[in-house]
Amino acid sequence: MMLPTGEDVRRARDRLAGRVRETPLVPAPELGERAGGEVWLKAENLQAEGSFKFRGATNHMLVLQEEGWRGGVVTASSGNHGRSVSRAARELGWPAVVVMPEDAPAVKVEACRRLGARVILHGTTSTARAELAERLSREQGLAFVHSHDDAHVVAGQGTVALEIMERLPSCRVILAPVGGGGLAAGISLAAGELHPGVEVWGVEPEGSACMYRSLQAGEPVTLDSVSTVADGLRARRPGSIPFALARRYLKGVLLVTEEEILATMRYLARECHLVVEPSGAVAAAALWAGKLDLRGRVAVAVLSGGNVDPALLCRVIGEGV
Amino acid sequence: MMLPTGEDVRRARDRLAGRVRETPLVPAPELGERAGGEVWLKAENLQAEGSFKFRGATNHMLVLQEEGWRGGVVTASSGNHGRSVSRAARELGWPAVVVMPEDAPAVKVEACRRLGARVILHGTTSTARAELAERLSREQGLAFVHSHDDAHVVAGQGTVALEIMERLPSCRVILAPVGGGGLAAGISLAAGELHPGVEVWGVEPEGSACMYRSLQAGEPVTLDSVSTVADGLRARRPGSIPFALARRYLKGVLLVTEEEILATMRYLARECHLVVEPSGAVAAAALWAGKLDLRGRVAVAVLSGGNVDPALLCRVIGEGV
C-alpha cells in the first residue's frame, strides 16, 4: 500500500489551482460560543458540483493525464463522487462510466448524465457496484477512480487543509466528516506533515462509526450494518489508506446523533444562510453539540457538501416554524 | 443635499476594515449560460447579521464616533437595517432604539432585542415610524441613522463594489436590488467614480418599482401602493440621495416578476447552496430571466441578504419536489 505524503498534497494543490474553487471560510460565532473558541466554516458545499469530492477526483485524473493516460474512466458511486468524476472527465474531454445502485435517486443519475457520463444502474450494494466497475475497468480499458481508498484522491482532499491554513494561519483545530475516510485522512495528513501545530478530528454519525470502531480495534473493521440520515457517510468499513493515515495523524473521532445533525443543518440554513447536506453538517454538529471544548482556540469545521434532497431540506428548515 | 463621493466610499472601506466581513464571490455558471456571459454572486447574505445593511449602519456610526459622538442612536426599520444598527451599536457600546411596525414579525423584533436594542412598536406605516424616530432623536438626543437616505450609509453600501473590483478586476457589470436605493446608489457611485468601465444596473420587482418610475419621470415619484414578496424592497419612493446618484451613475433599472424572484431563490438554494431572502434574489433573478444580455462580459449579481422567513423558504425550496 502506497501512502500519500504531505508533499503529494502540496503537489495536488499546484495541480488543482484554477481547476477547483477556493471555497470561502465563513464565521460561525454561535458555534464558537457553544464550543468555547472561535469557529469558522470551510464551505465546500460551494465547491464545483457541490462537494469536496471534486478535488480528489480531479487530482486523480490529472495525475493520470500527466502519466500519459488518454482513455476513459470508470467509478462506482451512489452520489457526489460519481458527479465529480463525471465533471472532471468532461473537463478533460474523457468518457466516463458511473456505476450507481438500481435504487439511486433520479436526480443523482441525472446530474451525472447531464455532465455527459454513461450511468449504469447495478445492484444495491457497494460491493456489487465496485465489482462491476472493476470488471468494466479491465474489460474496457478504463481507469478506475476509487472514491476514497486511493493515494491521489486522498491527496486531493487534503488540499482543503492547505487552503484553510493559508487563509487562517491562527487555526489550531480542524474537524471533518468521515465516511470511507478520504477527506479526514487527507486533511490530517496535510496538517500532520505540513502544519504540525494543528489538531484534526474526524466526526461520524453514531449509527455509522466505522472509523471510530476501527481505531479502537487497531485495524479496519467492517460494521454489520449502518444507519444514518447522512447518506454520504454510510460506509461499513474505512478504506485501507484512510485508516492508515487516520491512525497516524487523526487526533480522534467524535460521534454525533441524528438529531444533532439535523439541528445543525437547520442552524446552518437559518442563521448562516448555507445549504448543506446531512453529511456536510456532521463536523459542525460536533461543535454545536459541545462534543469538543476548544479552550479558546480557533477551529474550522468542514462543511463537506450541499447536495441535499429538497424535500428533506424543506422538512429540516420548516421544523419549529 | 450633500452627495457622497467616490472618495467617501474609499474612506468607508478603510473605516470598515476588520469590522464588516469581506463576503465571497461565488460562481454561478447556470446564470452565465442564461445571460450569455460569466456570472458571479456577491454573497452579502453571508454578511454579519445576514445583509449588506451592516456596512452602511456601521459606517454611519463610525463617522459619528470620529466626530466625537458618544450618545446613542435611533432608527426606524422593519427589518435588516434595524438589526444592523442594533449590532453596530452593541459593538460600539452605545444604546440603540429601533422603531418597528406594530405588526412586525416576532423573529425580527427578537433579533434586535437579542443584540441589546430597545424596540418600540409603533403604527404600521413607514411615515409613522420615521416621525416617531425623529421625535425621539430630538427629545432624547439620539443620533438618527437613516436606512438609505444618508451620505454615510450610501458610502458604506458602496464598499460592496470595491470588494468586487479588487477580487474580480475583469468584472464589467454589477446588478443590485433597489428598495430605497441605498445599495444600488452606493455601488453605482463607487463604480462611476472609481471604476468607470463598469456598468451598474438596479433591479426592482415589477410591483414595487419606485426607482424605475422616478428615473422615467426625472424626479422622485411616490407610488400609491407597492406589492411584492420582497419585503426589503417595499419602498414607495426612492431616497433623495439615492435618486440623485442613480440618475447620474446607474445604467438603468431592470424589472422582475414575483415568479422570477421565487424561482431564483429556489435555484440559489438548490444549486448554489445559498439561502437568500426574496429581496436578496432580485438581482440574480434579472439574469436568470434573461433581462440583460451580457454579450460575453463578466457580471456580478449582489445577493443582498439572507434573512428569510423559514416557512417561505421551505415553501420555495419544496416546490416541484
**Whether A74 contacts chain B with CB within 8 A:** no
Judge: B321–A310 Cβ closer than 8 Å, yes or no: yes
Question: What's the rounded Cα separation, in Å, for the pair B85 and B98?
Answer: 8
Domains and CATH numbers, chain B: 6-51+150-318 (3.40.50.1100), 72-141 (3.40.50.1100)
Confidence of residue A108 (pLDDT cuts 50, 70, 90): confident
Touching B: A residues 179-198, CB under 8 Å: none
Closest-CA distance, B46 to chain A, in angstroms, reads 7
What 3-state class would DSSP assign to A51? strand
**Whether A317 contacts chain B with CB within 8 A:** yes
Judge: B275–A274 Cβ closer than 8 Å, yes or no: yes
Confidence of residue B320 (pLDDT cuts 50, 70, 90): low
Judge: B273–A270 Cβ closer than 8 Å, yes or no: no
| DSSP E strands, A84-142 | 96-100, 118-121
Q: Phi, psi at residue A178, to the nearest 5°?
A: -125, 120
Active site residue B304: yes
Q: Residue A27: its chain B contacts at CB < 8 A?
A: 21, 48
Question: What's the rounded Cα separation, in Å, for the pair B240 and B237?
Answer: 9
- If you measure CA to CA, which chain B residue comes closest to A25? B24
Catalytic residue, chosen from B77, B137, B147, B304, is B304
Please list the helix, strand and coil fractions of chain B in percent, rounded to the nearest 5, in that order: 50, 15, 35
Q: Residue B21: its chain A contacts at CB < 8 A?
A: 27
**Whether A244 contacts chain B with CB within 8 A:** no
**Whether B276 contacts chain A with CB within 8 A:** yes
Catalytic residue, chosen from B42, B53, B108, B251, is B53
Closest-CA distance, B266 to chain A, in angstroms, reads 10
Question: What's the rounded Cα separation, in Å, for the pair A298 and B197?
Answer: 41
What is the pLDDT averaged over residues B53-81? 95
Kindly report the pTM of this predicted structure. Answer: 0.96
Question: What's the rounded Cα separation, in Å, for the pair B299 and B286?
Answer: 12
- If you measure CA to CA, which chain A residue comes closest to B268? A275
**pLDDT for B264-289, tens place per residue?**
999 999 999 999 999 999 999 999 99
A vs B, Cβ pairs < 8 A, gives 65
Question: What's the rounded Cα separation, in Å, for the pair A29 and B117?
Answer: 19
**pLDDT for B116-153, tens place per residue?**
999 999 988 888 999 999 999 999 999 999 999 999 99
Judge: B273–A275 Cβ closer than 8 Å, yes or no: yes
Question: What's the rounded Cα separation, in Å, for the pair A44 and A307?
Answer: 11
**pLDDT for A126-165, tens place per residue?**
889 999 999 999 999 999 999 999 999 999 999 999 999 9
Active site residue B291: no
Write out the DSSP string of B40-99.
EEEEGGGSGGGBTHHHHHHHHHHHHHHTT--S-EEEE-SSHHHHHHHHHHHHHT--EEEE
What percent of chain A is modeled with pLDDT above 90?
A: 93
